[in-house]
Amino acid sequence: MEAVAAASPSLGASPLPSSTVVIKALLLMVMLVYLVQTLVPRRKSTRTAPIPPGPTPWPLVGNMPEMLLSGKPAFRRIHLVMEKAGTDIACVKLGGVHVIPVAWPKIARAVLKEQDANFASRPLTLASRTFSRGYTDAAMSPHGE
Secondary structure in 3-state letters for 35-59: HHHHHCCCCCCCCCCCCCCCCCCEC
Out of 28-32, 78-82, 122-126, which region has the weakest mean confidence (pLDDT)?
Answer: 122-126
Instruction: For 15-38, give one letter per residue: b (16+ CB within 10 A) or e.
Output: eeeeeeeeeeeeeeeeeeeeeeee
pLDDT digits (tens, 9 = 90+) for 67-119: 888 888 888 888 888 898 888 888 888 888 888 899 888 888 888 888 777 77
pLDDT at 49 over 80: no
pLDDT at 9 over 70: no
Q: What is the pLDDT of residue 14?
A: 56
Out of 60-64, 88-92, 119-123, which region has the weakest mean confidence (pLDDT)?
Answer: 119-123
Which band of pLDDT confidence, cut at 50, 70 and 90, is reported for residue 29? very high
pLDDT at 43 over 60: yes
**Position with higher pLDDT, 49 vs 110:** 110
Which band of pLDDT confidence, cut at 50, 70 and 90, is reported for residue 128? confident
**Position with higher pLDDT, 24 vs 134:** 24
C-beta of residue 123 within 8 angstroms of C-beta of residue 86: no
pTM of the model: 0.51
Which band of pLDDT confidence, cut at 50, 70 and 90, is reported for residue 143? low
